[in-house]
Amino acid sequence: VSELKANARFRGSRFRVKTPRDFLLHRDACSYGYFLLEPNRWLVREQVFVRTFLLGKLAVTARIAPESGKRGADLIVNCDAKLTAAQRRELIAQLTRMLRLDESAADIARFHKLDPRWKKLGNGRLCRSPSFFEDVIKTVTSCNVTWPSTVAMNRKLCLLLGAKSASGHRAFPTAAQLARTRPQKLRARCSVGYRDARIVELAKLFHTGKVDPAWFEDRANSDQAVREALLELPGIGPYAAANIMQLLGRYSHIALDTESVRHGRAVLGFTGSSARVMKRVAAHFEPFGDHKFRSYWFELRVNYEAKAGPAHTWDYATSASTFTSRTLTKDSRAKKPG
DNA sequence: GGTAGACCTGGACGC
DNA sequence: GCGTCCAGGTCTACC
């Protein structure tokens, strides 16, 4: 019954989107933890991705499902509103960025040539946000907190500021919206703590054009230049910069954090201080060169999935509690599911 | 250049 | 139910 009701709300525009020949929605959408963060929803039972997009001023919720279970199947998109041709193009552009549909099978094959461990499964694409801005804010909400807090911050940000679609879902706040929000309000209503001023400051930098997403997305700029520019931003340190770089499709740096240390000790068998283990983890992935983040990330995921099941069986409702309980490790709380 | 401590929130734990 | 402890990355001050 609930499924029927859900479908009834998505009787707006319906269209199909081409995917690369190796693409699988359940694998490539659930490839990085951001698929569990609002306004993204992964419906485990239906294996459908739901997300509210902002198209100009219109918030539109879309249900995205593969036409079949085969690799490279078209995606069928059902919206809760009628879209103009321009709005449809914009939604497809955002979906393309999010699911990395512009990363071809040949691009993924280059990664597999360097690290053949993931060739059979086809792992390569890492899910991200429809915009650079959302990726930056989501990264800030993942710093210095455990996963349930990151989930809560994103949920509350959408609830407080996100535009509402016809089916009642919320979009992610825009830079303009966050830029005119008082930090104290963010802290009180969204549980962002001391990140309040940093989030508003970041939003102002984007809103005023002092941060130009096009510059960061431009492949002509070197990884080093992009990294240095990211480190100039408030709330962005070495971990956040490396994470945002991988979200930009630049995999030459590993986002080293406490999970890296846990992995170094538990899986790679490294010993010594945290700083020493971290250095050894960095050295361990050095042979993977410009693809090292992906090698690192998919290696981490092997452990997550061994303990919590395949990522496409993780849903929003249970992920927060799942990843805070001690089901993943005996001696540490898992922080960032992938 | 390296390091210690403050910054917040929420889960775990002991009582 | 309450209080305490702890995890988590960035930033600033200090050596």
pLDDT at A336: 54
Q: Which 3 state secondary structure label does DSSP give A122?
A: coil
Q: Strand B nucleotides below 7 A of a protein CB?
A: 3, 7-13
Q: How high is the mean pLDDT of chain A?
A: 92
Torsions phi, psi for A127 (to 5 deg): -60, 140
- Three-state secondary-structure class, residue A267: coil
Cα separation, A217 vs A180, whole angstroms: 25
Question: What is the CA A332 to C1' C4 distance in angstroms?
Answer: 19
Q: Place A328 in a pLDDT band, splitting at 50, 70 and 90.
A: very low
Is A279 within 7 A of strand B by CB distance? Answer: no
* Sheet of A75-79, strand order: A14-17, A75-79, A58-66, A48-55, A40-43
pLDDT per position as a tens digit, A163-199: 999 999 999 999 999 999 999 999 999 999 999 999 9
Protein-to-nucleotide distance from the CA of A276 to the C1' of B5, whole angstroms: 21
d(CA A56, CA A89): 12
A324 C-beta less than 7 Å away from strand B: yes
Q: What is the pLDDT of residue A4?
A: 45
Using the structure, give the distance in angstroms from the CA atom of A261 to the C1' atom of B5, rounded to a whole number.
22
Q: How far is the CA of A220 from the C1' of C6 (A)?
A: 44
Instruction: Tell me whether the omega of the peptide bond preceding residue A39 falls within 30 degrees of 0, making it cis.
Output: yes
pLDDT of residue A9: 83
Average pLDDT over residues A49-56: 98
List beta partners, residue A50.
Answer: A41, A63
User: In whole angstroms, what is the distance from residue A256 CA to residue A123 CA?
Assistant: 21
Residue A74 reports pLDDT greater than 70: yes
| Inter-residue contact A17 to A101 (CB < 8 Å) | yes
Q: Is the confidence at residue A8, as pLDDT, over 50? A: yes
The reply to whether the CB atom of residue A187 sits less than 7 A from any atom in nucleic acid chain B is yes
Distance, in Å, from the CA atom of A324 to the CA atom of A309, rounded to the nearest integer, reads 15
Provide the pLDDT for residue A273.
87
Q: Which nucleotide is nearest to A146 (CA to C1')?
A: C8
Q: Is the CB of A144 under 7 A from strand B?
A: yes
Strand B at less than 7 A from CB of A145: yes
Other CB atoms within 10 A of residue A44 CB: 15
- Strand C nucleotides below 7 A of a protein CB? 7-11
Distance A34 CA to C4 C1' (A): 32
Distance CA A98, CA A92 (A): 10
Helix A274-284 and helix A258-266: axis angle, to 10°?
Answer: 80
Output the distance from A171 CA to B2 C1' rounded to whole Å.
Answer: 43
pLDDT digits (tens, 9 = 90+) for A268-313: 999 888 888 999 999 999 999 999 999 999 999 998 898 889 999 9
Q: Report which DSSP code applies to A310.
A: -
Q: What pLDDT shows up at residue A246? A: 98
- Tell me the pLDDT tens digit for each residue of A242-267: 999 999 999 999 999 999 999 999 99
**For A70 and C7, how far is CA from C1' in angstroms?**
42
Helix-then-strand count for chain A, H and E: 16, 5
Question: Can you list the alpha helix ranges (DSSP code H) found in A212-285?
Answer: 213-217, 223-231, 238-247, 258-266, 274-284
User: A142-157 pLDDT, tens per residue?
Assistant: 999 999 999 999 999 9
Q: Taking the CA of residue A115 as centre, how many other CA atoms within 13 Å lie in the half-sphere pointing to its CB? A: 23
Checking if the pLDDT of A338 tops 80, the result is no
Query: Does the predicted model carry a pTM greater than 0.75?
Result: yes
User: How far is residue A54's CA from residue A91's CA, in Å, rounded to a whole number?
Assistant: 8
- Taking the C-alpha atoms of residue A251 and residue A249, their distance in angstroms, rounded to an integer, is 6
Report the pLDDT value the prediction gives residue A303, as an integer from 0 to 100: 87
The integer distance in angstroms from the CA atom of A248 to the C1' atom of C3 is 44
Question: Is the Cβ atom of A229 within 7 Å of strand B at any atom?
Answer: no
